[in-house]
């Protein structure tokens, strides 16, 4: 496989909205403070999320490297079994995991972040031994076809079904950083995306978390939501008079405030995109019935804001 494809680690806009939502929720739950401090914490959480991303990739690499050691230990036994003497090297020859294991920039980056694996740590061994017993692993070994697609899919299975849910992995995550505790779930699709990108040719990890546009986006979304907190609360209150405001879930209110802020303050993001994004977030972070409620309230608010000509979109270069 040629070694030239660059895979960027980047937050999607939805993931950035989630980070802002979490930062706002924490900031407001703690009674507020200086918005500048809230922004600083938000940016720090993104830095820590990048560390978690690198840690998970490093652990996947170490698990694959234990598979190599496991094969070699079998060959070196005094009384090897037939399987030891004639190992099935299909997994060892996995092109996606070989690319990950030989990618020096990942090692360099992990060293800079202080993510150095202790050779005596048996977590990669424990993960691989469980994986080795699985139906997925054995079906992969027995498959009569070989392709980079199959290599990538089994690597994703190893990561998603055996590495991420492992109790020792979760324990390390909990102990390492308060910022990591709630990050594994949101980081999993990002790592999976990186693994899947290996099917193209090969990759180079680019240590860029967010670009300037995205940094400006999260700062502005955080700050404008805070600055207009009371005004947006009034918008919501006026359109939910059949509901007691104090009985509306705080997360629902926060999502609606963020949606209003984005619709009013980001001229390059279409209103429909903002509405759809926050409805999607409500499915993930709110009660099942919240989606319809939030959708209904926001529709009324947007209708009023349009009548008052308060929503201004540039129309050119609109982005998600």
Can you give the pLDDT at residue 5? 46
Read off the pLDDT band of 283 (50, 70, 90): very high
107-116, 145-154, 268-277, 301-310: segment of lowest average pLDDT: 107-116
Q: How confident is the model at residue 187 (pLDDT cuts 50, 70, 90)?
A: confident
Q: pLDDT tens, 41-61?
A: 999 988 888 889 999 999 999
Higher pLDDT, 134 or 9: 134
* Residue pLDDT, tens place only, 159-172: 999 999 999 998 98
Structural domain boundaries in the chain: 6-206, 228-307
Selection from 198, 254, 187, 266 nearest residue 226 by Cα: 254
Lowest mean pLDDT among 19-23, 86-90, 142-146: 86-90
Q: pTM for the complete prediction? A: 0.81
- At 317 the pLDDT is 47
Q: Which CATH superfamily is domain 228-307 in?
A: NusB-like (1.10.940.10)
């Amino acid at each position: 496989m040629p070694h030239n494809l660059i895979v960027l680690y980047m937050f999607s806009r939805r993931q950035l909205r989630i980070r802002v939502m979490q930062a706002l929720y924490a900031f407001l739950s703690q009674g507020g403070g200086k918005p500048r401090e809230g922004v600083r914490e938000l940016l720090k959480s993104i830095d820590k999320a990048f560390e978690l991303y690198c840690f998970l990739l490093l652990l996947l690499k170490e698990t694959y490297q234990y598979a190599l050691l496991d094969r070699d230990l079998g060959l070196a036994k005094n009384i090897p079994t037939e399987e030891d003497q004639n190992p099935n090297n299909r997994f060892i020859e996995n092109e996606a995991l070989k690319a990950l294991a030989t990618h020096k920039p990942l090692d360099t980056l992990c060293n800079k972040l202080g993510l150095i694996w202790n050779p005596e740590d048996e977590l990669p061994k424990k993960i691989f031994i469980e994986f080795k017993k699985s139906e997925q692993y054995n079906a992969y070994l027995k498959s009569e076809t070989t392709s980079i697609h199959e290599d990538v899919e089994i690597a994703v299975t190893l990561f998603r079904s055996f590495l991420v849910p492992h109790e020792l992995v979760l324990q390390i995550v909990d102990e390492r950083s308060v910022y990591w505790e709630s990050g594994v779930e949101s980081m999993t699709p990002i790592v999976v995306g990186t693994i899947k990108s290996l099917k193209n040719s090969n990759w180079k990890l680019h240590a860029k978390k967010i670009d300037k546009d995205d940094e400006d986006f999260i700062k502005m979304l955080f700050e404008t939501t805070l600055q207009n907190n009371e005004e947006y609360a009034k918008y919501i209150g006026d359109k939910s008079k059949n509901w007691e405001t104090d009985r509306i879930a705080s997360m629902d209110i926060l999502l609606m405030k963020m949606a209003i802020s984005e619709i009013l303050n980001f001229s390059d993001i279409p209103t429909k995109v903002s509405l759809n994004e926050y409805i999607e977030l409500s499915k993930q972070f709110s009660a099942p019935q919240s989606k319809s409620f939030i959708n209904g309230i926001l529709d009324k608010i947007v209708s009023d804001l349009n009548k008052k000509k308060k929503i201004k979109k540039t129309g050119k270069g609109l982005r998600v």
